[in-house]
Amino acid sequence: MTIEFNIYQQKMEKSLDILKRDFQGLRTGRASVSLLEPIGVEAYGSKVPINQVGNISISESRLITVQVWDESLIQSVEKAIRNSDLGLNPMIEGNIIRVPIPELSQERRVEIVKIASKYAEDTRVTIRNIRRDAMDKIKEEEKQKNISKDDSFQFSEKMQKITNDYIERVDTFFQEKEKDILKV
């Protein structure tokens, strides 16, 4: 019996993907399609991603436009953008919603960095929990005499190295995002 490290690595990779997606939703002071992607819109009796009810595009460096396909959903889309915690003030013009991206104050930038830091820490905790599950599996295999003490030690070392690599990647992503947010 061997420990399947790739399963644990895939779980850690998914955690990183979620972190990247969360970071995309944080404002950096310039327009980005990914800024609106996490927003859910009440449509057709359920909550759907905003990109499933309209076309999101960047018309200027500080302006996002959402062309809503179904006119009956324009108010819902506008409300969803306004109620998101992004601090945006959308304006309706026909079936297009214009979302100007205001200049970020230094105070707001610091708040956004704190949110990014929380996202990064949550991801680190998730990765450590995945490591803990793997370590429990290794101990269980050793206890049942499926692997030797030496193998158990080697597997534990390998799992710790994998975990350290992923934690390092989280830290790198956070540092890049922090630089991006604080850049004026």
Mean pLDDT by 10 residues, the chain (184 residues): 82 93 74 79 87 86 87 89 82 89 81 88 96 94 90 93 96 92 78
Is residue 117 within 8 Å of residue 22, measured between CB atoms?
no
**Domain ranges across the chain:** 7-23+105-182, 30-100
Name the CATH superfamily for 7-23+105-182: Ribosome-recycling factor (1.10.132.20)
Give φ, ψ of 147 to 5 degrees. -135, 155
pTM above 0.75, yes or no: no
Q: Which CATH architecture has domain 30-100?
A: 2-Layer Sandwich (3.30)
